[in-house]
Amino acid sequence: ACALGRPPPQRAAVRCLAGGPCFSAHLANGSYADACSACGRRRSGLAWVSGEPELRLLLGLLAEAAPRPAPSLFWVGLKRNASACTNEEQPLRGFSWESAGGGSASQEVPAALGRWVTEPVRSCLTTRCAGLHLAPAAAPGGGPSWGWKE
């Protein structure tokens, strides 16, 4: 999932917040580095979520793009550098937004965005990446079930 600095051509699968960021979804099997490169070729960066409006927009876009009915993992710009430790008291567990696609993403997020499918590995020694995991079962209130996943 890429965060675009400006609205792309009409033919792309994109959703935008009014006066805010735009996100696009791209289906491919690949690593975090592959996803970073793919977004870079689109003059953007991996997607970020700083609040519930971005999350709702991104979940809707990815739910449409996700193959059914299997769970899907989408790379976003969520990364924990080797020098940072897992912090179970923070919603993002010590991870931070690596890139904001030319925009600005707050590193602080509401506690409601701290939903993890499985807790990240406790470590202070290696770089770790996380994606947005979507499951086919509907979440309370409708929409896909979601959570961050290393």
pLDDT tens digits for range 32-69: 999 999 888 888 889 988 888 889 999 888 888 877 76
User: Cα–chain-centroid distance for residue 30?
Assistant: 15
pLDDT at residue 138, rounded to an integer: 62
Domains in the chain, start-ordered, CATH in brackets?
A: 2-149 (3.10.100)
pLDDT at position 116 is 93
Which pLDDT band, with edges at 50, 70 and 90, does 105 fall under?
Answer: low
Both tokens of 98, joined, read 């690596």
CA distance 46 to 34: 11
Most confident option among 8-12, 38-42, 96-100, 137-141: 38-42
Residue for token pair 């590995």: 121
Cβ atoms of 96 and 120 closer than 8 Å: no
131 has a pLDDT exceeding 80: yes
Q: What is the pTM of this model?
A: 0.81
Residue 103 has pLDDT above 50, yes or no: no
Percentage with pLDDT > 90 across the chain = 25
The predicted model gives 106-114 an average pLDDT of 77
Distance, in Å, from the CA atom of 64 to the CA atom of 147, rounded to the nearest integer, reads 17
Distance CA 82, CA 70 (A): 32
Q: How confident is the model at residue 102 (pLDDT cuts 50, 70, 90)?
A: very low
In three state form, how does the secondary structure of 1-64 look? CEEECCCCCCCCCEEECCCCCEEECCCCCCCHHHHHHHHHHCCEEECCCCCHHHHHHHHHHHHH
